[in-house]
Amino acid sequence: MVETQPIVFFNGELKPENEVGIPIRDRGFIYGDAVFDATRTFNGRPFRMKEHLDRLYNSLLYLRIDPGMSKEEMERWSMEVVNHNYSLLPPNQDMWVMQRISRGVETIEPGEEQRPTVLIESHPIPFAKRASLYRDGLRIITPSIPRVPPRFMSPRAKTHNYLNLILGDLEAQGTDPDAWAVLLDEDGNLTEGKGSNIFLVKDGVVATPKGQFVLEGITRGVVLDLANGLGLPAEERDLDQFDAYTADEAFLTSTSLCICPISTFNGAAIGQGSLPGPVTQQLISAFSDVAGMDYVEQYLSHLA
């Protein structure tokens, strides 16, 4: 396909991005009745796409949506989108490739078949906007709004309903416009942010909230494996605000951020020493090795 602009896969075919519109009665739009996942590229190569697609298909099972397509087909079409769109990016850029599947357009007539809407799109990672985070660290605020409890809606599915996390961000950013929210659960334990998992390091032990209470980030899984490989004790356990205020180091993980150090928690400095701290730095280096590039350097190169 010869296209000089980004393409997407939409309901069975590849099309120029600006020729695709979502129908006004699509249930993903009117109810958030959809799931998605996002894989990032490093030098144009998707990282852990299989794990992301496994999670996507679990999210689909949770919402009982049939995408009408196997994981292998989803991967093949995703690669078509990546390979075409990466070639259009400026140098030193990378992107997310996102699969979005809604239950489809709301049916009206009795017996009308509900068909899913399947979209695969890509999006450049905002390196310039985030570059300073790798120099200065993330400022975390815990908003008063709690994370929706798992028994109401499982955080383990990655759905189009982000309002709880968005409200958390809005509240945090009302205090500090550059802060990132990490929501607490109803018992006061740390959960996650809008698009990221949190880790604390204390006395050499790396800890993160249990998988049952958060989206089990693919990056979170990689970091737990890396910690294991480096001989660092790693735990999935309840962590509260005391653990955060007394941590030696802390960081967020996400597909696009990879591992990004935290400088303050509700305004209080985390740890005493340099940023990133030694354990976080060890994990960042190990992560760069598996990603096949120095991703921190890539972010920092976008500093104004």
Binding site for ligand PLP (CB under 6 A): 158, 165, 192, 195-197, 214-215, 217-220, 253-255
Please answer whether residues 59 and 159 qualify as being in contact, where contact means their C-beta atoms are separated by less than 8 angstroms. Answer: yes
Q: What distances in angstroms separate CA 275 from CA 116, 149, 199, 264, one per listed residue?
A: 46, 33, 15, 11
Q: How far apart are CA 155 and CA 245, in angstroms?
A: 25
Nearer to ligand PLP, 7 or 214 (CB): 214
Closest CB 1 distance from ligand PLP, rounded Å: 29
Nearer to ligand PLP, 56 or 105 (CB): 56
**Which residue of this chain has its Cβ atom nearest to ligand PLP in the complex?**
217
Closest CB 84 distance from ligand PLP, rounded Å: 23
Closest CB 304 distance from ligand PLP, rounded Å: 26
Tokens of 193: 């942010």
Q: Can you name the residues that pair with 259 across neighbouring β-strands?
A: 253
Closest CB 102 distance from ligand PLP, rounded Å: 17
Closest CB 218 distance from ligand PLP, rounded Å: 4
Nearer to ligand PLP, 131 or 198 (CB): 198
Nearer to ligand PLP, 140 or 218 (CB): 218
Q: How far apart are CA 289 and CA 32, in angstroms?
A: 37
Q: Give residues with Cβ within 8 angstroms of 147, minimum separation 6.
A: 155, 164, 165, 168, 183, 184, 185, 191, 192, 213
Nearer to ligand PLP, 117 or 219 (CB): 219
